[in-house]
Structure 1
Amino acid sequence: MESSKTSDTSEILTSLYRAMGVLEAFSFADELTLNEIVEKTGLPKTTAFRAVKTFLALDYLCYDPKNRKYTLSPKLFRLGFIAINARPLSRWARPLMEEVRNEFGEAVHLNIRSGDERMCIESLASTYQLQVDMPVGHRSPLYAGATAKVLLAAMSDEEIDSYIKRVSLVKLTEHTVVDTAKLWHDILDIRKFGHAMSVSERVKGVVSVSVPIYGNGDETVAALSVLIPTARSEDSDISRIRESLLQKAKELSRRLGGHQRATVHGGHA
């Protein structure tokens, strides 16, 4: 019987094992030159080149001769979406997300951490004509917006320090937090209160309310969020939306073997 995992390294295809590092290098950047791939993987240049040529032949990578950079192809994204949809996280989350969307009419999204970014893995559009779109597969930095910072706050202090040192904190809007001290303040608030809210941090004109979802071992595995256009936010009951998200996150965490941590209500980041 074949197993999906094995501790016997003699059964590993070394060349394939090393080549997959090329694809994983794109967790840290959308596009890379061959030299950048070599730098991130530590592979000899000839080995990296052969791996890249193979992935090009299989349509897993695309190449732009103008800037001499490689990017992941849509074919690879489709495989990723298939894997995501097969996960209990997305399957169990969707009906709970539908309950939130049906109650408030606003867009509901499920996000996970992917390398140094936040990535949407499930998305339900608002029922209103004016809505905020976030398609499945959408990515953004971990420092920008409530959802991203919920995932950032789940990392250890050492991991956060390392992230801040290697990532340029660039203003996506005039409200994006790029001051390290303020970012740490928001992280500590999220850890204390167990939820976050942001206004126009990632996209101008959008209010985001987000809560963590815990898996086995009580580690944060995802963030459940509602996005509201600021034009409608004053008429929205933000506290009721937050409580609904917390209840749904508690149920989803329970199904995943985790437990929602005790939180202090009333604060936000």
Structure 2
Amino acid sequence: MAERGIEKNSERKARGRPRAWDDKTSQNTIKSLDRAMAVFEHLSTQSGVSLSALSEQMGESTATLYRILFTLETRGLVEFDQAQQLWQIGPAAFIVGARFLRRTSLVERARPVLRALMEETGETANLGIQKSDQVLFVSQVETHANIRAFFPPGSLSPLHASGIGKALLAFMDQEQCDRLIVSADRQRFTEHTLCEADQLKEDLVQAKARGYSIDGEEKNLGMRCIAAPVFNHYGEIVAGISVSGPTSRVSVDKISSLATSVMTAAGNLTTALGGEPAAH
């Protein structure tokens, strides 16, 4: 009987969560862990912050924050600069992030594509994915030029003011695109930022028709970006590839030739992922 019971249990389907716990109510939330993660995420946006400043920013007591930070420090997720008395993200955070990137072959397969794109165009090549209403930059190959665009892995940028962001919006499901446009805080960064929903939608229609998007000084004056979509084997957009640089080099008369290179690179990565490049 015992042996049959063991055999029966071994055949049960593995579960990722307890039965009937599909809801997201407070009963499933560990409040102390949630608070610790909030501290960790906030700290990740800082280059270094004192305990007192962090307390003021988050509205938490220094005693509570210190216990959280000390716990995270024991795991290497944060570290303390004794000389400057500042807390900052630790090396284990990068290790965890790197493991996330290795979960998919996207970043690994993109590296040679990005490098070839940079060498061909002479401009910084970027890879980004959607994260809520922002672009998360996950890989970059910098140009050799002295003046360059710089979006280190882990950087975030609003979808509406980013070349990759607009490529993602233009080629995603229309319902999802409309929902993101309506819900997003379309902040104005420069006089060229497309803040009005109708204006942005028209720009996305044009981007989809030609196969690439343009960020024409919409986030940073003097910088231009050209981006194209990357698809998976389901035909879903999963990322965007771009080149970015100063308008003195990425000039209006070079947009067409640079766009051809970017679309080719995006198509090559799409093919490497088992997808089919967009036809234009």
TM-score when normalising by structure 2 = 0.72
Corresponding position: 1:172 with 2:174: no
Are residues 60 and 207 of structure 1, via their aligned partners in 2, closer, same or farther at CA, if it must alter by over 3 Å? closer
Secondary structure at 2:98 match in 1: helix
CA deviation string 1:13-52 (max 9, x = no partner): 68xx89xx9xxxxxxxxxxxxxxxxxxx6526x9452332
Are residues 237 and 166 of structure 1, via their aligned partners in 2, closer, same or farther at CA, if it must alter by over 3 Å? closer
| Match runs of 1:222-237 below 5 Å | 222-234=239-251, 237=254
Q: Corresponding residue for 2:104? A: 87
| Match runs of 1:64-143 below 5 Å | 64-68=54-58, 74=89, 76=93, 78-85=95-102, 87-143=104-160
Stretches of structure 2 that go unaligned for 5 or more consecutive residues are 1-11, 44-50, 61-76, 79-88
Are residues 122 and 85 of structure 1, via their aligned partners in 2, closer, same or farther at CA, if it must alter by over 3 Å? farther
Q: What residue identity is the alignment partner of 1:94?
A: R
State the alpha-carbon separation in 2 of the partners of residues 138 and 65 from structure 1: 24
Q: Corresponding residue for 2:69? A: none
Q: Corresponding residue for 1:12? A: 17
CA deviation string 1:194-241 (max 9, x = no partner): 111221011111110111011111111110100020122339733222
| Further displaced range: 221-230 or 99-108 | 99-108
Q: Retained in 2: the 8 A contact 1:145–1:176? A: no
Runs of 4 or more above 6 Å deviation: none
State the alpha-carbon separation in 1 of the partners of residues 173 and 139 from structure 2: 26
Stretches of structure 1 that go unaligned for 5 or more consecutive residues are 1-5, 22-40, 264-269
Q: Corresponding residue for 1:242? A: 259
Secondary structure at 2:101 match in 1: helix
State the alpha-carbon separation in 2 of the partners of residues 82 and 124 from structure 1: 20
Identity, % of aligned positions: 24
State the alpha-carbon separation in 1 of the partners of residues 146 and 274 from structure 2: 38
| Match runs of 1:160-199 below 5 Å | 160-199=177-216
State the alpha-carbon separation in 2 of the partners of residues 250 and 171 from structure 1: 32
Bigger Rg over Cα:
2
Q: Corresponding residue for 1:43? A: 26
TM-score when normalising by structure 1 = 0.75
State the alpha-carbon separation in 2 of the partners of residues 208 and 246 from structure 1: 13
State the alpha-carbon separation in 1 of the partners of residues 179 and 164 from structure 2: 20
1:148 Cα shift? 0.8
1:141 Cα shift? 1.0
Q: What residue identity is the alignment partner of 2:209?
A: K
Q: Retained in 2: the 8 A contact 1:52–1:61? A: no
